[in-house]
Amino acid sequence: MLKPTFISLVQRHTTDSALAEKLWSDIEKRYTNRKRHYHNLQHLENLFNQLSEVKDEIEDWDTVLFSLYYHDIIYSVHSKENEEESASHAMEALQKIAYSSDQAKKCVDIILATKAHFITIDHDTNLFIDADLSILGSTWEVYTEYFKSVRKEYSLYPGFMYKPGRKKVIQHFLNMKRIFKTDFFHKKYEEQAKDNLKKELELL
């Protein structure tokens, strides 16, 4: 599903089919890196499914889709600049297909918004960051697999280093007035997300 959707997306903006394949190969290679246990193609599939549910609310579907494919394309547990580097990578790719500069900037803004997940003035961006966080509101069983996968990605760090950082992330979300900014995702996931976060916090 991910590949044909991406190829179709790119081909709406360029006739260079070889470029479409090249861009996809780059995406696939990065998201299938063996060090990725959560930020992988499965995450992209879940994000696509979540966004598809609110497609009618999205103003610029193509830009949201490009944001989906590129928002975690650069991911290192050692870096605090993953979003900035992913946004830069996205811009380079979009320039190759001569994507509208305004839309390319919006893609960059969406990716950067996933760093802190704060509400923005753009509805598409709010829908995107809500969909990106939808895993927080999944069943406890699925959520457990999620935080275990995140822990695997940070396996290089011993517990005494990992736990304080993870607690800070969880508290960041619990301190938010609303984790989910849009009515659709707030109604669907807010209560379960807070329960899951509190349970994980108790386990740390």
Its pTM stands at 0.95
In this predicted structure, what is the pLDDT of residue 121? 97
In this predicted structure, what is the pLDDT of residue 109? 98
- pLDDT per 10-residue tile (average), the chain, 204 residues: 97 95 98 96 98 98 98 96 98 97 98 95 98 98 98 95 96 95 98 98 96
149 three-state secondary structure: helix
Q: Domain ranges in the chain?
A: 1-132, 136-204
What is the maximum span of the chain, computed from C-alpha positions, in angstroms?
Answer: 53
Closest CA to 149 of 22, 38, 29: 38
In this predicted structure, what is the pLDDT of residue 61? 98
In this predicted structure, what is the pLDDT of residue 188? 98
